[in-house]
Amino acid sequence: MTDEARTDDAMIVLKDLSKAYKVGPSTVRAVDSVDLEIPRGQMVSIVGHSGSGKTTLLSLMGGLTKPSSGRVIIDGINIWNLSDKEMSQLRNEKIGFSFQFASLMPTLNAMDNVSLPSTFSGRPHDNSRAVNLLKLVGLEDRIYSYPEQLSGGEQRRVALARTLMNEPRLILADEPTGDLDEETEADILEIFRRINGEGVTIVIVTHSRAVASQAERALRMHRGHLSEEADVGASRP
Amino acid sequence: MKRLGLLYLAAQNLRRKPFRSFVTIAIVGLAAGTLFSATLLIGSVDRSLEVGMERLGADLLVVPEGYQESGQTALITGAPTSFYMDGAVLGQVSSISGVDQASPQLFIESMVSSQCCTGHVQIVGYDPGSDFVINPWLAQNLNRTLNPDEVVIGSLILANKGEQVHFYGHNFDVAGVLDATGMGADESVFMSLDTAYLMAAESAQVAESPLDIKPGTISSVLVKIAPGANIDQVSQRIKTTVPGTMVITANELSRSVTDRISGFKRGFIAVDAIVWVMSLLTIAAIFSMIVNERQREIGLLRAMGSTRRFIFRLMLAEAVILTAAGGIAGIFVGGAALFIFKTVITSSLGIPYLWPPILTFVELTFITLSLAVFSGAVSSLYPAISSSRLEPYAAIRQGE
């Protein structure tokens, strides 16, 4: 992997980052000249209206979409200088994604879904870690259940366990508690807080001010522009 | 503890849509089965022809005028027939320039009645003094000539060596069973010419239905031409010198079989080509559908760290599993169908048939399976490449 533009203590550095889409004859700048630095171990929330570019920004951070211009530096690595194999390895080993929809593989049971990231890492297969993670999210009795046998909240918790499978140092969560009841939302936020306490950097995109308030730093997206949001850490325990 | 690997994921994905997987397997199976069974049939006919013609050992066959067709049919399929001509034809044929050896045969059609005969078969009387068809086999296997009460039988006659067969009031010991040729000889019973004349002569007293065959009468003359002689020229000389006869050349006999099967071959090529093209298009369409349906999953797998290569191989693996299953099913069903309907097919087409050696089976199985898998891989190539090139974020969003 390349090791350029290292900024000490920064897990994420975005430099003049833009992403534009062609929509018919016009061009939409979903992310427009964003500069950002997120230190290791920080929990950051990004709020904004629908269509403001939050999810696109998160995808740019995770290397899921290529920027139109600018640089994405994760843990000191300019990720768009990587080959597909290196980029895949980086996603697999360093980044955990949590999506705003039930993102489980329908043909795999809960344990296999959780274990899936280890398939791509080349590590020895370790079911015990998957089982422990399912315990962590309170689903130790649903290890062999298939997604269709789980409720929406349970599916999200299995997906969260999967996010943690390879012990990522960065978690990118897109509306991780959307559509969930308050109790499940609280459980998931508690898990995020716990792993953040272990030094994992977490970026959460959310509509919810309650979720945003859990972060020590909040950012706001508005028409592709990113700005700092004041007074968000107040409710963080 | 199972390992979550490429093949496991591919197999799990295929189990998700069992009907679609079944249809894909069925269509590939149809293509593979058609190819396997038809190629096996054609190969078996060719092999039978090769072995049968070698056993016949003759370059020309002289028969009475008007019996060319039934003579050919008797030689090819063993369909019992009887036609006769004067034994003097043998001398006339032998004296023709270019003829090296000539040997007479007498054809007697046995009766269906069990009281008369051991099955409805072709009885062939041969001349031990001049024969070059049965004698070499006897020399190699019995090391003696046949006794008057002995016969050798074709491989499809329902009797074993040492048992007795019954024809026109006479019991004959089976001195040996000829190796299979797939041709008419397999359903024929061979006895010496003198034995055949004797059986015919005594049939009036001992048989349910007497035979009307005068001693010295023959049905055909097998001819070997001299080295360097031209078959067509010798054939022409016989036709002009020996009136009332027709000549069947070995080439004509082969061509007759080839002609009988050529329509089948053309039909098979057309049908199988259509089925293969359909199969390729179906697989391509199905895998395009699969890629569209699973865009989000593909995006998620990429987000979890799978490489493009992994996605490509996953799609390819699914296609290969399906087509391999289809290929195996097709080979099994096609082979079984040929085995079951072999008699119906060969008798309706009037063709000889000899199962190929096991090595040919293995080769054909391997080729058919390889072709099925290759077709699956080729037709799923574009969807597999497309899926591997999907940008993860776009794939996840488009799957929403």
pLDDT, tens digit, 9 for 90 and up, residues A73-124: 999 999 999 999 999 999 999 999 998 887 899 889 999 999 999 988 877 7
Say if residue B29's pLDDT is above 90.
yes
H helices of chain A, in order, are 54-61, 84-94, 110-119, 127-136, 152-163, 182-197, 209-212
Q: How many helices (H) and strands (E) does chain A have?
A: 7, 10
Residue A233 above 60 pLDDT?
Answer: no
Q: Tokens 């299953």 identify what position?
A: B325
CB-based contact (8 Å) between A127 and chain B?
yes
| Higher local confidence (pLDDT), B255 or B96 | B96
What pLDDT does A235 receive? 47
pLDDT of residue A178: 77
Q: Residue A123, Cβ neighbours under 10 Å: how many?
A: 14
The residue behind tokens 């306490």 is A197
Neighbours of B391 (CB within 10 A): 15
- Higher pLDDT: B70 or B229? It is B229
Quick one: closest CA in B to A166, which residue?
B304
Please give the pLDDT value at position B313. Answer: 93
Phi, psi of A220 (to 5 degrees): -125, 135
The answer to whether A26 faces chain B, any CB pair under 8 Å, is no
The H or E element that residue A21 is part of is strand A10-23
Which of A97, A109, A205 should be substituted to probe chain B, the one whose Cβ sees the most B Cβ atoms within 10 Å?
A97
The predicted pLDDT at position B278 comes to: 87
pLDDT of residue A103: 84
ipTM: 0.90
Q: Which residue has the tokens 């067509």?
A: B232
pLDDT in tens, A151-187: 888 998 999 999 999 999 999 999 888 777 888 888 8
pLDDT above 60 for B1 = no
Whether A155 and chain B come into contact, CB under 8 Å, resolves to: no
> Model confidence at A228, in pLDDT bands (50, 70, 90)?
confident
Query: pLDDT at position A3, please?
Result: 45
**Angstroms from B383 CA to nearest CA on chain A:** 19
Question: Under a CB-based contact definition with an 8 Å cutoff, are residues B207 and B201 in contact?
Answer: no
Report, as an integer, the average pLDDT of B327-338: 94
User: What strands lie across the sheet with A69-74, from one edge to the other?
Assistant: A26-39, A10-23, A69-74, A77-78
Question: How close B20 gets to chain A, by Cα (Å)?
Answer: 15
Number of residues assigned to chain A: 237
Each residue's pLDDT tens digit, B5-26: 888 888 888 888 889 899 989 9
pLDDT exceeds cutoff 60 at B262: yes
Residue B110: count other Cβ atoms within 10 Å of its Cβ. Answer: 21
Confirm if B76 and B103 have CB atoms less than 8 A apart.
no
Q: What is the pLDDT of residue A101?
A: 80
Would you say A88 and B306 are in contact if contact means Cβ atoms under 8 Å apart? yes
Nearest to B16 among A97, A106, A112 (CB): A106
Number of Cα atoms under 13 Å in the Cβ half of residue B330: 39
Please provide the DSSP assignment of B264-277 as one string. HHHHHHHHHHHHHH
Would you state the pLDDT for residue B399? 55
Chain B interface, best mutation among A28, A84, A105, A162, by max B CB count within 10 A: A105
How many C-beta atoms lie closer than 10 Å to residue B370's C-beta? 12
pLDDT at B94: 94
Q: Is the pLDDT of residue A1 over 50?
A: no
pLDDT above 70: residue A234: no
CB atoms within 10 A of CB A45: 26
Task: Answer yes or no: are the C-beta atoms of A58 and B396 closer than 8 Å.
Answer: no
Retrieve residue B30's tokens: 């149809």
By the CB < 8 Å criterion, does A5 face chain B? no
Higher per-residue confidence, B46 vs A67: A67
Q: Which residues of A touch B12 (CB under 8 A)?
A: 105, 107-108
**Are B304 and A107 in contact (CB < 8 Å)?**
no
Mean pLDDT, range A123-130, rounded to an integer: 81
- The predicted-structure confidence for A17-58, as pLDDT tens digits, reads as follows 999 988 888 888 999 999 999 999 999 999 998 889 999 999
Q: Which long-range contacts (CB under 8 A, 24 or more apart) does B94-99 make?
A: B96/B234, B96/B237, B96/B238, B96/B241, B96/B242, B97/B229, B97/B234, B97/B237, B98/B225, B98/B226, B98/B229, B98/B230, B98/B233, B98/B234, B98/B237, B99/B223, B99/B224, B99/B225, B99/B226, B99/B229, B99/B234, B99/B238
CB atoms within 10 A of CB B91: 12
Ranges A215-224, B52-61, B171-180, B287-296: which has the least confidence:
B52-61
**pLDDT value for B256:** 77
In this predicted structure, the answer to whether residue B144 has a pLDDT above a threshold of 50 is: yes
Q: Which are the contacts of B138, defined by CB distance < 8 A and separation ≥ 6? A: B144, B145, B146, B152, B175, B176
Shortest Cα distance, chain B CAs vs residue A151, angstroms: 19
Does residue A4 register a pLDDT over 70? no
Q: For residue B114, what pLDDT band results from cuts at 50, 70 and 90? A: low
Is residue A232 over pLDDT 60? no
What local confidence, expressed as pLDDT, does residue A161 receive?
93
Supply the pLDDT for residue B252.
80
The mean predicted confidence, pLDDT, of chain B is: 87
pLDDT for the residue numbered B143: 86
pLDDT at B268: 83
B18 touches chain A (CB under 8 A): no
Cα angle B181-B185-B190, degrees, rounded to a multiple of 5: 135
Q: Measured between CB atoms, does B399 come within 8 Å of chain A?
A: no
- Banded pLDDT at A150 (limits 50, 70, 90): very high
Q: Which residue of A has its CA nearest to B12?
A: A107
Contact A77, B289 (CB under 8 A): no
Query: Can you list the positions of beta strands (E) in chain B?
Result: 60-64, 99-109, 122-126, 150-153, 164-167, 170-177, 188-192, 220-225, 245-249
CA dihedral angle for residue B38, residue B41, residue B42, residue B43, rounded to 10 degrees:
120
- B319–chain A nearest CA distance, Å: 17
pLDDT of residue B326: 94
pLDDT at B331: 95
- Whether residue B52 has pLDDT greater than 90: no
β-partners of residue A39 are A10
- Smallest CA–CA distance, residue A197 to chain B, in Å, is 23
